């Protein structure tokens, strides 16, 4: 499957951190895969490799071609010299010989041209199927498009949730126009700074009650109703994974969207890319 065939995946940030993987997290990811959530997002950064190791353990009994594995390289490893080693370490931890998508986690000091050429080499060797970027705003995407091979970018993973809609102003339209899927990270507004706005939203509470769902399910439905957007919530319990899956069947009406816009207005001007 292509990335654009997915609506929802599973994030792994803060899983298996500073300890051996918890059985509940293992069960949550296994449950997700068994129920069709086969896109898994991880990174060499998460738990310094322990999240990738957890994913590796979870997917051991699963047919590799039924999965879509995404990992990310640190900016300081995104050079011709270091990327190969970083990628092989991720592959070893994941127990696979190829990644479906390998992302530059955020922009660092390595020139984009060099990073693209390092991605291309890994692609030629079969270590990765596609490559992409993360935390890139429009200006970064424009710059990427100007380097040789840069327009082969397969995704941009950025923060996007109902209470942080800045990407709707120009980045999301830019990505749609250039057929680059947007992977929405922190789709449940993980950061404490947004949780109070979410808790205070009468629209969210009412819509959730009307749909017999939770506020979090409505937040996911709000994102995945859009073409070109894939949400990757992190859930460490099977209960949360099941709820996230069920959000796929929630349909928001134009009236629901108008009520959401009142509490969480769409952007009217350019804002810096959110990363919180
Ligand atoms: P998130 O998915 O917005 O929120 C995760 C939080 O929501 C956890 O506390 C989780 O609790 C809770 N949750 C999950 N499902 C729920 C449900 N149905 N009802 C209520 N609460 C629920 O946060 P995130 O981890 O920041 O983002 C998701 C993924 O995006 C990450 O795991 C990572 O893979 C990726 N990411 C990428 C970047 C980047 O720079 N590219 C940055 C941040 C994140 P439990 O854990 O208890 O289930």
Number of H helices, E strands in the chain: 11, 8
Q: Whose CA is nearest to atom 38 of ligand 1?
A: 185
The CA-atom distances, in angstroms, between 236 and each of 21, 55, 222, 242, 256 are: 11, 12, 22, 11, 29
pLDDT of 17 strictly over 90:
no
pLDDT at 276: 84
Any idea which residue has 């995946």 for tokens? 9
Q: What is the pLDDT of residues 85-143, one digit of tens each?
A: 999 999 999 999 999 999 999 999 999 999 999 999 999 999 999 999 999 999 999 99
21 CA from centroid of ligand 1 (Å)? 17
185 CA from centroid of ligand 1 (Å)? 8
Nearest 5°: phi and psi at 52? -60, -40
Mean pLDDT score of the chain: 96
Q: Which residues does a 6 A CB cutoff place in the pocket of ligand 1?
A: 11-13, 41, 105, 134-135, 157, 185-190, 214, 216, 232-237, 240, 243-244
Which of 9, 13, 189, 216 to mutate to test ligand 1, by most ligand atoms within 8 A of the CB atom?
A: 13
Strands 99-104 vs 156-159: parallel, antiparallel or unpaired: unpaired
Q: In what order do the strands lie in the sheet with 39-41?
A: 10-11, 39-41, 68-73, 99-104, 128-134, 156-159, 182-185, 229-231
Classify residue 237 by its DSSP letter. S
pLDDT at 19: 57
């Amino acid at each position: 499957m292509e990335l654009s065939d997915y609506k929802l995946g599973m994030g792994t940030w803060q899983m298996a951190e500073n300890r051996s993987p918890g059985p509940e997290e293992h069960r949550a990811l296994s449950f997700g895969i068994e129920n069709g959530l086969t896109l898994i997002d991880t990174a060499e950064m998460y738990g310094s490799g322990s999240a990738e190791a957890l994913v590796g353990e979870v997917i051991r009994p699963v047919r590799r071609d039924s999965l879509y594995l995404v990992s990310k390289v640190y900016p300081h490893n995104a050079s011709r010299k270091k990327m190969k080693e970083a990628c092989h370490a991720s592959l070893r931890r994941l127990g696979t010989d190829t990644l479906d998508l390998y992302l530059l986690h955020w922009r660092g000091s390595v020139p984009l041209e060099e990073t693209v050429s390092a991605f291309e080499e890994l692609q030629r060797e079969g270590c990765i199927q596609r490559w992409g970027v993360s935390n890139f705003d429009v200006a970064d995407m424009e710059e990427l498009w100007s380097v040789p091979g840069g327009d082969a970018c397969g995704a941009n993973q950025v923060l996007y949730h109902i209470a942080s809609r800045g990407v709707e102003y120009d980045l999301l339209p830019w990505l749609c126009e250039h057929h680059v899927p947007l992977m929405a990270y922190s789709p449940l507004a993980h950061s404490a700074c947004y949780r109070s706005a979410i808790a205070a939203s009468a629209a969210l509470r009412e819509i959730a009650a009307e749909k017999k769902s939770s506020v979090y399910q409505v937040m996911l439905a709000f994102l995945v109703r859009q073409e070109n957007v894939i949400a990757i919530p992190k859930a460490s319990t099977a209960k949360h994974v099941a709820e996230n899956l069920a959000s796929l069947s929630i349909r928001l009406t134009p009236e629901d969207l108008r009520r959401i816009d009142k509490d969480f207005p769409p952007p009217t001007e350019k804002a810096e890319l959110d990363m919180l």
